Amino acid sequence: MRVSVIIPCYNVEAYVGRAVESALAQTHSDLEVIAVDDGSTDGTLAILQELQARHPDRMQVIAQANAGACAARNAGLERSTGHYLEFLDADDVIHPTKVAHQLALAASHDHPELIAGSATMRSPEGDVLRQEVLGTTPRDPWFELMRHGLGGSPQNLWKRSAVAEVGGWDESLRSSQEYDLMFRMMQRGARVVIDDALLTDVYLRKTGSISQGRQDRNWERFIDLRVRILDHLARVKSPSALEPYRQVLFDSIRTLYPHAPQRASELYRTHLRGFTPQRSPATGAGYLLLHRILGFSWANRLRHLLR
């Protein structure tokens, strides 16, 4: 079963060789690597072309004007021939058995549309910052989507037909892109299988990412996605069953407040008027008391001032 590894690249000359080599080192043999240079101004394209010359039967390079990570992934999607896709970011690394392991997992679950994988988060120097291991106990994939618990683009494995069916990646987005894609796939009935194996290393860089942006805009996009998830689930779940989802939305709007207080207050009034928040990892008893006495805006304003 063929797998296409698609690597969007933008000014990553210091990292891209490592990412490509990790793709070419996969133990699964039926594999193609498609690297898409998104208008880099450093030596990224030259490195990719050199790697392609060394592996002409396994790798192809696409060069395009700068259009963003999603456009680069879509360009690779159009050229791909794999049954499954691995969207590997240019500064990340997959272990040699990653693709083979996830294909075996897919085969044992009747080839689902998405394998959601775990990852080791590393500093730019390679130090382990944390491990994000997705539990394999039965759980609601919709709630995991809501709380950002379905992995990310490099650690996941995506069925090509399901990605193409929803039109690929939304090129207007600059954050939450993979969760938007997973949402649209799940709306069409995509099945999700969880993989707890740590076979992807994600390197967290402060600058240079194709998709980085301002924190307030990032959180607004994430909140917008969560509102869309809630609107969809409201058609199939009872109001009481939606309360945990509303709590996640509430915590997200609270996180936005320090960056954009007026916008956060507007979002709260629009989507959560009358909601009674509960304790959660992001909301403690002290804040709940303030919220009960003062309401959302004043509770967050006072909390922000005290901090």
- What CATH number is associated with residue 156? 3.90.550.10
Q: What is the pLDDT of residue 205?
A: 78
Query: Could you tell me the pTM of the whole model?
Result: 0.92
Are both 195 and 228 inside the same structural domain? Answer: no
Are both 192 and 261 inside the same structural domain? Answer: no
- What does the alpha-carbon distance between residue 145 and residue 225 come to, in Å, rounded to a whole number? 10
- Domain span including residue 179: 3-203
Are both 52 and 105 inside the same structural domain? Answer: yes
* Strand order through the sheet with 93-94: 93-94, 200-203, 119-122, 128-132
- At residue 15's C-alpha, the angle toward residues 9 and 20, to 5°, is 70
| Phi/psi-derived region of residue 272, left when phi > 0, alpha when psi is between -120 and 50, beta in every other case | alpha
Q: Is residue 297 part of a domain?
A: yes
Q: What is the pLDDT of residue 307?
A: 72
Q: Is residue 131 part of a domain?
A: yes
Are both 196 and 242 inside the same structural domain? Answer: no
Q: What is the pLDDT of residue 39?
A: 98
Q: Is residue 28 part of a domain?
A: yes
Structure tokens at 149: 């618990």
Q: Is residue 217 part of a domain?
A: no
Are both 156 and 292 inside the same structural domain? Answer: no
Are both 53 and 154 inside the same structural domain? Answer: yes
Give how far Cα 41 sits from Cα of 110, 146, 208, 305, Å.
Answer: 44, 37, 12, 43
Q: Is residue 210 part of a domain?
A: no
User: Domain count of the chain?
Assistant: 2
Are both 137 and 72 inside the same structural domain? Answer: yes
Q: Is residue 80 part of a domain?
A: yes
Q: In angstroms, how far is the first alpha carbon of the chain from the final one?
A: 54
Are both 173 and 233 inside the same structural domain? Answer: no
Are both 95 and 14 inside the same structural domain? Answer: yes
Going residue by residue through the chain, which has 307 residues, state the pLDDT in tens, using 9 for 90 and above.
999 999 999 999 999 999 999 999 999 999 999 999 999 999 999 999 999 999 999 999 999 999 999 999 999 999 999 999 999 999 999 999 999 999 999 999 999 999 999 999 999 999 999 999 998 777 899 999 999 999 999 999 999 999 999 999 999 988 889 999 999 999 999 999 999 999 999 999 765 444 444 677 888 999 999 999 999 999 999 999 999 999 999 999 999 999 999 999 999 999 998 899 999 988 999 999 999 999 999 999 998 787 7
Q: Is residue 272 part of a domain?
A: yes
Q: Is residue 171 part of a domain?
A: yes
Are both 234 and 298 inside the same structural domain? Answer: yes
Domain termination residue (choose one: 170, 203, 236): 203
Are both 192 and 257 inside the same structural domain? Answer: no
Are both 198 and 232 inside the same structural domain? Answer: no
Q: What is the 3-state secondary structure (H, E, C) of 178-189?
A: HHHHHHHHHHCC
